[in-house]
Amino acid sequence: MEKIESFKVNHKLLKRGIYVSRKDYNEKGEVIATTFDIRMKEPNREPVINIAELHTIEHLGATFLRNHDKYKKKTIYFGPMGCRTGFYVIFKGDLESKDILNIMKEMYEFMSNFEGDIPGADEFSCGNYLDQNLPMAKYESKKFLEEILNNIKNENMNYPN
């Protein structure tokens, strides 16, 4: 079997940041969607995000994007990576990391400051609604916002060779 693109990234050198993971094309060869790797943790070098806060960030991030005036129609998907070092977000169109920096800052600011009931964290709406951790989700979001998004460098937006 051929190795998929995300497994070809050198995780030994990968830093926290926003990376173009892949682009999907239509039959005419036009880019129709861009998948981004939102890497909140350095792989294999720092502790991963615990399931409860990962779950909460998923609920908050997806709700934020699907209610955003500009991005609700551009958002295809927001969800966690299996390795628990970050998230994938898929937007319609041919985009680069710099194109989504402002919406990521806005989303992480929203999650950092969120108060109240976690959207969709109830028995009717979620298959594992009790497994949530808002205080740690806020902590992880604020850490990523302050340490990476607010001071982003080129090395945090382009995969290492």
What are the residue boundaries of the structural domains of the chain, listed by start?
5-148
Lowest mean pLDDT among 6-10, 44-48, 87-91, 135-139: 6-10
Beta-carbon-side half-sphere exposure of residue 155 (alpha carbons within 13 Å)? 7
Angle, vertex CA 142, rays to CA 139 and CA 143, nearest 5? 85
pLDDT digits (tens, 9 = 90+) for 110-142: 999 999 999 999 999 999 999 999 999 999 999
DSSP codes joined into one string, 12-58: TTPPSEEEEEEEEE-TTS-EEEEEEEEE-S-TTTSPPPPHHHHHHHH
What pLDDT is attached to residue 161?
79
pLDDT digits (tens, 9 = 90+) for 39-75: 999 999 999 999 999 999 999 999 999 999 999 999 9
CA distances to 76, 92, 113 from 71, rounded to whole Å, are 10, 9, 20
pLDDT higher than threshold 90 for residue 87: yes
> Residue 147 has which token pair?
């340490």
What pLDDT is attached to residue 5?
80
CA distances to 41, 48, 50, 63 from 45, rounded to whole Å, are 8, 9, 15, 30
What pLDDT is attached to residue 151?
95
Q: pTM of the predicted model, to two decimals?
A: 0.95
Q: What architecture does CATH give domain 5-148? A: 2-Layer Sandwich (3.30)
For the purposes of burial, counting CB atoms within 10 Å of the CB of 7, is it exposed (0-12), middle (13-18) or buried (19 or more)? exposed
In this prediction, what percent of the chain has a pLDDT beyond 70?
Answer: 100
